[in-house]
């Protein structure tokens, strides 16, 4: 028997197949819900297990690369923070440069300035007198503060006096045949000096020695009187060259040190009123030398 599609009624065409399909669809939906529920439950269990389980590196396993890099960054950061703290003066750990050079001893250059006062004892017949001086110079870096160059400027006015009795003059040149004289010699001295400090012997007391040429700017003034009658004053000026050798020791105090120094000097000297003589003498100085 042959059925033509157009001869069938819609109700007859859809009743049987629709009933079968609805039943199967219901079973399929139920099965899908069951599978979905099981999958959700399993995923939740896995998340709970992973939250409770410690990382492998905490239980003795291998450290992942990312964790290792993060740990290195933490270490580097702590070292950097420590270096910053040390630079701010809040950390007592010395810098590596200080440890390497034995605790950060200062070996840099320094400006040198000093003032001194002492007494000059001339070896040419002049009387002892007060002498004052100043020093300006530079202490060279990289020499363990041993070598310095400086300019010393000193001033003194040593006097001399005496009496002369003239014989063989007829008539006498001066009343009574004798006269008294007084000599005042003004000395302004410049001495560039190279100094060597024995810093390797002690940190507290530092001996030193120096040498340098001396430039003397001299003025000699002589006045005299005979039997109370004043004789005219005599002036002479000259420039002479000599040499000076300072020897001394510094006692560390503050930014520099107190020092005691014995200066030996010599130079040729000749004026009409004095004749040919020399500028030899010794001066004992006390002063303070600052390193700035």
**pLDDT tens figures, 2-20:** 444 443 344 433 444 434 4
Quick one: tokens of 93?
A: 């750990």
Beta pairing, strands 159-165 & 205-226:
unpaired
pLDDT tens digits for 197-250?
Answer: 999 999 999 999 999 999 999 999 998 888 777 877 888 999 999 999 999 999
In words, the CATH class of domain 110-291 is mainly beta
**Residue 13: CA count within 13 A, CB half-sphere:** 8
Percent of the chain scoring above 70 in pLDDT: 62
Comparison of pLDDT for 69 and 126, the residue scoring more: 126
- The tokens for 264 are 């030996």
Give the CA diameter of the chain: 195
Take residue 32 and report the two structure tokens written for it. Answer: 């899908």
Three-state secondary-structure class, residue 198: coil
Residue 39 has pLDDT above 70, yes or no: no
How far apart (Å, rounded) are the C-alpha atoms in residues 18 and 11?
11
Yes or no: say if 118 and 112 are a contact pair by the CB < 8 Å rule. Answer: no
What is the rounded CA–CA span in Å between residue 267 and residue 245? Answer: 12
């Amino acid at each position: 028997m042959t059925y033509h599609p157009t001869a069938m009624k819609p109700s007859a065409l859809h009743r049987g197949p629709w009933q079968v399909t609805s039943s199967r669809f219901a079973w399929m939906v139920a099965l899908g819900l069951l599978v979905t529920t099981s999958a959700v439950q399993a995923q939740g269990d896995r998340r709970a297990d992973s939250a409770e389980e410690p990382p492998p590196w905490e239980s003795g396993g291998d450290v992942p690369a990312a964790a290792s890099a993060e740990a290195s960054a933490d270490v580097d950061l702590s070292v950097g923070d420590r270096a910053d703290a040390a630079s701010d003066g809040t950390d007592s750990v010395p810098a590596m440069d200080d440890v390497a050079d034995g605790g950060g001893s200062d070996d840099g250059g320094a400006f040198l300035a000093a003032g001194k006062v002492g007494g000059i004892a001339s070896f040419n017949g002049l009387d002892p007198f007060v002498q004052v001086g100043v020093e300006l110079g530079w202490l060279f870096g990289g020499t363990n503060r041993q070598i310095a160059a400086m300019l010393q400027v000193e001033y003194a006015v040593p006097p001399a006096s005496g009496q002369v009795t003239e014989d063989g003059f007829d008539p006498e040149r001066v009343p009574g045949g004798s006269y008294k004289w007084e000599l005042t010699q003004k000395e302004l001295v410049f001495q560039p000096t190279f100094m060597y400090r024995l810093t390797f012997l002690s940190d507290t007391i530092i001996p030193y020695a120096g040498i340098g040429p001396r430039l003397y700017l001299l003025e000699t003034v002589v006045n005299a009187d005979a039997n109370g009658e004043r004789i005219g004053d005599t002036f002479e000026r000259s420039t002479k060259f000599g040499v000076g050798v300072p020897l001394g020791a510094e006692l560390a105090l503050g930014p520099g040190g107190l020092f005691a120094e014995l200066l030996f000097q010599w130079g040729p000297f000749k004026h009409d009123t004095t004749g040919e003589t020399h500028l030899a003498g010794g001066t004992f100085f006390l002063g303070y030398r600052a390193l700035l």
